[in-house]
Amino acid sequence: MPETIVAIYDLKGLKCPLPVLKTRKRMQSLATGSLIAVETTDPLAVIDIPHFCHEDGHAMERSETIAGGHRFLIRKMR
């Protein structure tokens, strides 16, 4: 699968549940196999985003700490 990130989605400053809701909506417009980077400052995102990926069938490629928050690399699987 391609390793090129097709979108960097900046959701910094948003609180639960908005990062998951906005990520879900954004993922709908992407082609299967696309890789998206989601950046958040919500501390609950480290629980919510992986749970969203599991529930919606997407692959969490990587989760990392960045200045002031987290970055999640998510591959759309369906």
Encode pLDDT of 33-76 as tens digits.
999 999 999 999 999 999 999 999 999 999 999 999 999 999 99
Does residue 3 surpass a pLDDT of 80? no
Q: Confidence class of residue 2 from pLDDT cuts 50, 70 and 90? A: low
Q: Find the mean pLDDT for residues 3-30.
A: 93
Sign of the dihedral defined by the CA atoms of residues 68, 75, 11, 5, in that order: positive
pLDDT band per the 50, 70, 90 thresholds, residue 78: confident
Q: What was the pLDDT predicted at 56?
A: 96
